[in-house]
Every structure is written in C-alpha cells, then in structure tokens.
Structure 1
C-alpha cells in the first residue's frame, strides 16, 4: 500500500491502513511554510518536517511504547522563548538529517525508534512552494506558499509547484511503481492531495503503475481552501489536475453526500465505482473513524465491498 497526502488527512488514512497491511508506505507533501516546520525550513534550509512527523506518529503501535512515542513526537513546547511552538518530533527529525545527511535514512531511524508500522518518505527531495490561482470577486490573483493558499479569501482554481520540475524522492517513485494499491486523501485538497500530481516523476509513476487507486473523500469542505465544494467538486478538481489519471474506487461517507447520482457520475468519469459507507466518528465532527475506515478499506481491497449501486466488483489485493 502507498498512501499520499499530508497533515491530519494522511494521519487519518495511515491510522486505518496500518491495521490493514503490513507493507505500508506514506508519501508526504513537503510544501509546508508555516509554524514550526516553516521556521526550521527557513533557518536551516531543510525539508519541512511537520507532515512527515505526523505520518510517523500515525504509524506508531497501540502498545505502551507506540502510544508514548506518538505523544512525545507530537508534543509542542510552550514558552515565552524561541522554542515556543516547536514540535519535539520536528527537532528530532532535523537533528538526524543533519547528522546522517540523508532525509530518507533519517526518517528510517525515527521510524525504528517509534516502532512505526510502515515507512515515511518525502514526495520530493527539495522543499517546495505551492502557487495557487485564486479568484476573488471576479479577479484572478496568484498567491504563493501553503499557508497563503489555505487562508487567502476567494476560490482556489488551480495549483502549481515551485520549483516547477522538482526532483522526486526516488524511493517514493519506486514504492508507487511496485504498489498493489495507492490511496489518495483525505486531506487538504489543494495543499496536501493535489501537489503529488505536480511532481513530474511522481505523476508519471502514478499514471504508469499497475496499482489500483482509491480516493477517500473529505467529510467537509475546508474553510479557506474548498469552501462550498461538494464531494463531486473535489473529484472534478482532481480530474482537472490529472485528466488522464484513472481510479478504481471513490470512498465517501454517506452522510455528507447531497446528490448521490452526481457523485456517481463524477466517479464514473474517472473510471471508478462509488462506495458509500459509515466512516466518520460518531460525535458528528468531520473526522474519520480509524477502525471504521480500516474495515471498509479492507473490504474494498479484497473485493467484498458493494458499490453504491449494490454491485460487488472483484478487486483482490
């Protein structure tokens, strides 16, 4: 399995996937320019470690060792000084990068310390900037940076990366080419999910891999980035950024689907079947429930989950 994304969305999918497979790779966006990650990136010129840290925390085991280390790497200092807001895991990752001189090897060492159930890779070998075309009151403007893209008022139309032809992480490309399944989402659509399609080597591998592809849709629009987006709009935007990329399954929570037929048509346009299921937490908040999501994904991977029209399609993992 290969899971693509970043932030809280990738954390949710990894929390589920690590209970479904023993061979899991997370390919993580490296465009964050805010908070602790942004400060370390600007000061030391490193890849932003925050989304990589969150992915590693999601892969920690459920035993005392895993739970403890997950809390440790996610812990943020609270002070009146320079350490305020820094996550312990960010500092640990960057320290290993400086000592070992290789981001992938550094992440492997952190994973071993945490007892991670899988590995975490950056999607590119250099820090990236996201550039977005945003429509505000009928005018189209260009904004640069992940934080700006996520918070600028208006409607995001498209994104691109700077540099425009960044080197992909070779191990990430290899993982995608060798995968049985590739999972997109959930997560911030323009700043965590779509950027993978803008790294040329990564995009080529995603198009050419023989792996089956799954899209997990968000449970709610993201303020400042996808305001007003319906579930089908998310798929339409994905198609606009990768018109030739086909998918096998689109998974959505049935409670957030307003127009089921419209979503089915959007999925079919990508070559995919639509699966509706109960994958959200019970308290009504827009968060995926790990065990529920894992159960549905396991059924999809083994061809036992019916589509929204009641048909079973064999999709053996």
Structure 2
C-alpha cells in the first residue's frame, strides 16, 4: 500500500456493531468490504429465513445502509431500506430492505449480485458480502445456576443472561463465501468488532476457510472493543475476559492492535498487559459520542482507526515501532 493510497479494509461483524465500524471506515477508504454474519434467526430476518430458506438478510441490510452515499439520494434509499411496516397482519415488523434483498435473490439467483445491486441503488462506499454461503445457527454452552447447559440460536445467545463459555456453528464446517475469503486475502487491514461478542463478532472465526484466510493473509488485524464490557451475552465478563474468549476460539489469530474507549475499560493496567501478551498494541481513545449514550461517534472512531493504520499509537501521536 503506497502512502497516498486508501487502505483496502475488511470489516467483520453484524448488526449495530458492524454499522458503527463501517460508518467510521467509510470516512477513510472506499476500498471497503463488509463480511457479515448469517446466523440471525429472529424478527423479520428469521421469518424470511424460515419461510423461504434464504440467508437472513437483516445484518446484510444494516451494513449496506451504513455504507450509503451521503447525499439526499443515498439517505432516502437508506431510510427506505430501514423502514419497517407496522400492522396487524403478516407484514408487521418486516423491514422493506429485507424484502427487497430477498426479492433480488430470487430474481438473480445470486446472493452477492443481489447485494451489489442494492449497493448501487444506495451509492454504497464499498461492498457487502455474507461470511458463509449457507444460513448458520449458533450453539452456545452457558453456565446457568451453576450448571453447564446448551442454548441454540443467535437470538437466544444474544439475549442470554447466563455466562457464555463457548460457541459453535451449525453446521460445524460451513462453506465460506469465496468472495469473502478473497477479500480477506487482498486486505491491508481487517477490523473485527465492535458488536455482540459471541453472536456477531466471533462466529467469523469459526468458519474454517475464513479463519484460515485471517491467519494466512498479510492483512493486519485491528480489534475494536465494545463501549460496555457487560451485555446480556457477556454477563459478568471483564474486558480482559473478552480477549481471552477470542483467543480460546481462534488461538492462531494474530491481533496487531486493540482499540478501546477508556470509559469502557474496567482495569487499564490489566488490559494493557493482556494486549501486550497477545503481541498487539493498545490504543486508548474516546470513541463514544459526547451525549452520554453508549454509541460510537463515527468521526472519533475514524480518527482512532487512522491512528492505528498510520501506526500513530502514542498518547501524543508518536509513531510506534
């Protein structure tokens, strides 16, 4: 990558977390690919998946909306894509974008081509790809009342108040989408997170071909920690335990940089030690909005990513290594 070139960046995740990273990364590069989890089994996506046997479109739709052109045209189509019907009938809570995406899949018989057409409609800065070629389910071992039990489904995992010990995919050896693998292999940087740790961030690491690409690619890896260390599915987990869970599920993955908001870190010294033990560099930056809501600020997160990509990782902009 030449010094004046925009980096080729692949962002992994799903839902609101992936939307946050994409909203920041689109300010830095138009060589951007989102690789999206396809395990959603709830809401509009779950209903379409069950009824039509398709990939769940919801997280793919949200990624496309995050990449829309910042013009009246792009924002209008984004709002249409995100619009949900409210009724007492079968259309209740279906997102227009989900229906549009599934209709294009039926017409074109090619999920990626359908997503590319929606991207053109939005004037999207970058592409959106599914991480696997088939719909997936997530199975998790959780500790409930002192006993280990198993729960199945992204919705169940994402909303559990029990401590998650490990996750698996069903099927256990799903085919990665070939273009997703190609994007990782061609990337300069891979951004993992933020997002629901077990149900959106880590599933990518359990698709064998995608996991192998992440390990063998020359791309550097930036891990973005969440703005809150405790959610339903990470109940009782510290920031360091997030990193250890990732390492258990993907022991061969090398992380180069970790981005964290200081207000979301329970013990900065422990986090720094853990990150250094991983062989990575910790970048502490305020990346949340200033209004008190636990949401990422696109400009602040983009500035943090720029520091990581340019290797400016000191508190006063000193170049690392």
* TM-score using structure 2 length: 0.95
Q: Cα distance 1:150–1:92, how it changes in 2: closer, same or farther (>3 A)?
A: same
Q: C-alpha root-mean-square deviation of aligned residues, in Å?
A: 1.3
Bigger shift: 216-225 or 191-200? 216-225
Deviation at 1:129, TM superposition (A): 0.2
Matches of 2:195 and 2:285 in 1, distance apart?
Answer: 18
Tell me which residue corresponds to 2:319: 312
Secondary structure, counterpart of 2:75 in structure 1:
helix
Trace 1:1-317 onto structure 2 (pairs within 5 A): 1-306=9-314, 312-313=319-320
Say if 1:188 and 1:222, in contact at 8 Å, map to a contact too: no
Distance in 1 (CA, whole Å) between partners of 2:219 and 2:270 is: 26
Which 4+ stretches in 1 moved above 4 angstroms? none
User: Do the aligned partners of residues 285 and 165 (structure 1) sit closer, same or farther apart at CA in structure 2, a change above 3 Å counting?
Assistant: same
Deviations 1:139-170 (A, max 9, x none): 10111100111223310111000000000000
- Alpha-carbon contact 1:274-1:307 (below 8 Å) kept: no
Q: TM-score, length-normalised on structure 1?
A: 0.96
SS in 2 for 1:39: helix
Q: How many residues align?
A: 313
User: Structure 2, unaligned stretches of length 5 or more?
Assistant: 1-8
Cα drift, residue 43 of structure 1: 0.1
CA distance in 2, matches of 1:67, 1:188: 26
Further displaced range: 242-251 or 223-232:
223-232
Give the Å deviation of 1:257. Answer: 1.7
Task: Give the secondary-structure state (helix, strand or coil) at the position aligned to 1:264.
Answer: helix
CA distance 1:139–1:307, change in 2 (3 Å)? farther
Q: Deviations over 1:284-305 (max 9, x none)?
A: 1211100111111112111223
Alpha-carbon deviations, 1:79-137, whole Å to 9, x = none?
A: 11100000000000000000000101110111001110000000000000000001112
Tell whether the 8 Å contact from 2:11 to 2:21 is kept in structure 1 after alignment: yes
1:237-292 alpha-carbon deviations (Å, 9 max, x no partner): 11111112111100000122221111011212221010000100011121110011
